Amino acid sequence: MRGGYRPGSGRPRKSPFVTAKDVRPEDAVPEEVPPPGGYTGVTWLMAVVNNERAAPERRDKAAAVLVGIEARRVQPPGKKLQAEQNAKLAGWQTHWWPLLNDTEAPDFDPDGLIPEDRAAWEAKRAKRQAEQPKRAEPEPTRRSWDELLGERERRLSGDLPETDWGDDLRYEGSHRFPPPVDDE
Phi-psi region of 28 (alpha: psi -120 to 50; beta: other; left: phi over 0): alpha
Q: 87-131: per-residue pLDDT in tens?
A: 888 888 888 888 888 888 878 888 888 888 889 989 988 998 888
pLDDT at 61: 92
Please give the full DSSP string across 75-99, using - where no structure is assigned: PPP-HHHHHHHHHHTTTTTSTTHHH
Q: Is the confidence at residue 143, as pLDDT, over 60?
A: yes
Sequence length of the chain is 184
